[in-house]
């Protein structure tokens, strides 16, 4: 008598790892994916290079409204060195470190290598991959020994011993993320914490700094009372992007959703006060010349306008209060923002299924038997730089291993 399969719903990063680790047991594994080929977020990550992992990660770098204890235990189940060893030794994907960012990329610089290797490997392990198959509903077991009922869009029903939900969240919907998994989890009785776009560019209307579009530099962006982010900053035609903006954007998004506003303060050039004071003490230099030694020309000119200082004024002639005003503009510039690019450009979904409702050792649902949840569905996300892949890999592995043994 054939055994009911383990069904993994979603062939993104978490789903592919779940299928990989669910395979090899007594039960067959079926991987269902609504798109034609799966792994679309893998393909677009890192500008098509796939920032596979950060060199190091820990729970303190992640955001959640759920239990930090559970988040910490999940990440500890498969730490950074073990994940790297898996990709290099088990999958044969050579990784290279980008020293200035601490990011790990495939040596081929091809995201397709990562996606294609994962797909090839899960098939080799006997997983039946079914693409273009959208799940419409999940019916939990009617009794202890009864199977799950997985209803497909065409009306067909699969009987499953266990179900792994790995459908992703709401970010980058063109990759197939439509929130189905979040809706399934809610209908099955799980608490879904309010979702919001995270790691998304911020916008400003009217676009006051549109003339600076394309200007980029290193900065520190501070959200008073909510943290800071350090890294690249990019002016766009609609507002701002770059790692520093993306990593702090969720504080502004959440404040706006709550009906308030989160002030953001920028330290231009990531240059500390003593260095600016030194640059502004060279008596023969103009103020514009001093700023342009460390900042892009166009930005320096705009910042002087913001400070109300003539570009040709000599630094030696700056009155004390004017010098203080200029330092405030350079070190604590209030960054105006009125909106964000939403899920369309968000790299990840904030919020999701409460971590308290899954077992940290297996990611088994505490609400329904033989249901496992992983990846972006869960209420946790990290900064850019491979942290969200690390979460997907770790949670997919846990869920797959536990489903195999269920």
Does residue 11 fall inside a structural domain? yes
The count of structural domains within the chain is 2
Asked if residue 379 and residue 295 are part of one domain, the reply reads: no
Domain final position from 324, 340, 356: 340
pLDDT at 316: 87
Query: The whole model's pTM is what?
Result: 0.96
Does residue 1 fall inside a structural domain? no
pLDDT at 283: 66
Q: Pick left, alpha or beta for residue 120 (phi over 0 → left; psi -120 to 50 → alpha; otherwise beta).
A: alpha
Residue carrying the six token digits 């091809």? 110
Asked if residue 329 and residue 258 are part of one domain, the reply reads: yes
Asked if residue 222 and residue 140 are part of one domain, the reply reads: no
- B/e letters for 147-162, b = 16+ CB within 10 Å, e = fewer, are bbbbebeeeeebebbb
Asked if residue 264 and residue 223 are part of one domain, the reply reads: yes
Q: List all residues 6 or more positions away from 164 whose beta carbon is below 8 Å from its beta carbon.
A: 6, 7, 8, 9, 15, 18, 19, 22, 372, 373, 374, 399, 400, 403
SS3 state at 290:
helix
Domain final position from 316, 340, 364: 340
Closest among 351, 347, 354 to 383, alpha carbons compared: 347
Domain final position from 286, 313, 340: 340
Asked if residue 141 and residue 43 are part of one domain, the reply reads: yes
pLDDT at 256: 97
Asked if residue 93 and residue 209 are part of one domain, the reply reads: no
Residue 384 CA: distances (Å) to CA of 53, 106, 365: 10, 17, 28
Asked if residue 299 and residue 246 are part of one domain, the reply reads: yes
pLDDT at 285: 84
Does residue 169 fall inside a structural domain? yes
Which tens digit of pLDDT belongs to each residue from 184-212? 999 999 999 999 999 999 999 999 999 99
Which tens digit of pLDDT belongs to each residue from 67-82? 999 999 999 999 999 9
Asked if residue 143 and residue 236 are part of one domain, the reply reads: no
Asked if residue 113 and residue 61 are part of one domain, the reply reads: yes
Asked if residue 184 and residue 161 are part of one domain, the reply reads: yes
Structural domain for 222, as ranges? 202-340
Asked if residue 303 and residue 185 are part of one domain, the reply reads: no
d(CA 224, CA 196) in angstroms, rounded, equals 20
In degrees and rounded to multiples of 5, residue 217 shows phi and psi of -170, 170
pLDDT at 279: 87
Low-confidence ranges of the chain (pLDDT < 50): none
């Amino acid at each position: 008598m054939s055994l009911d399969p383990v069904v993994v719903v979603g062939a993104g990063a978490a789903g592919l790892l779940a299928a990989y680790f669910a395979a090899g047991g007594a039960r067959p594994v079926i991987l269902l994916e609504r798109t034609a080929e799966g792994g679309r977020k893998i393909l677009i990550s890192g500008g098509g290079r796939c920032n596979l992992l950060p060199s190091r990660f820990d729970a303190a770098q992640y955001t959640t409204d759920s239990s930090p204890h559970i988040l910490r235990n999940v990440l500890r189940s498969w730490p950074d060195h073990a994940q790297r060893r898996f990709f290099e030794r088990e999958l044969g994907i050579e990784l290279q470190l980008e020293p200035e960012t601490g990011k790990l990329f495939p040596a081929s610089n091809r995201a397709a290598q990562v996606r294609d290797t994962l797909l090839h490997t899960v098939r080799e392990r006997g997983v039946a991959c079914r693409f273009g198959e959208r799940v419409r509903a999940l019916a939990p077991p009617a009794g202890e020994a009864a199977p799950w009922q997985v209803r497909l869009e065409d009306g067909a029903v699969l009987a499953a011993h266990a179900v792994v939900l790995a459908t992703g969240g709401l970010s980058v919907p063109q990759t197939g993320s439509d929130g189905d998994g979040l809706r399934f989890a809610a209908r099955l009785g799980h608490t879904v914490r309010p979702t919001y776009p995270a790691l998304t560019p911020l916008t400003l209307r009217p676009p006051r700094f549109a003339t600076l579009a394309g200007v980029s530099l290193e900065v520190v962006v501070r959200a008073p009372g909510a943290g800071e982010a350090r890294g690249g900053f990019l002016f766009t035609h609609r507002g701002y992007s770059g790692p520093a903006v993306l990593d702090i954007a969720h504080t502004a998004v959440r404040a706006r959703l709550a009906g308030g506003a989160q002030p953001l303060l920028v330290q231009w050039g990531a240059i500390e006060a003593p260095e600016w004071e030194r640059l502004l003490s060279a008596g023969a230099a103009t103020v514009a010349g001093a700023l342009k030694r460390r900042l892009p020309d166009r930005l320096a000119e705009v910042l002087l306008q913001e400070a109300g200082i003539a570009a040709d004024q000599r630094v030696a002639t700056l009155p004390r209060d004017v010098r203080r005003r200029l330092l405030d503009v350079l070190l604590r510039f209030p960054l105006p923002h009125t909106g964000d690019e939403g899920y369309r450009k968000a790299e990840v979904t904030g919020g999701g299924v409460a971590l308290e409702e899954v077992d940290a050792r297996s990611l088994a649902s505490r609400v329904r038997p033989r249901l496992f949840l992983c990846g972006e569905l869960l209420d946790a996300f990290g900064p850019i730089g491979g942290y969200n892949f690390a979460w997907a890999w770790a949670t997919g592995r846990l869920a797959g291993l536990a489903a195999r043994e269920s």
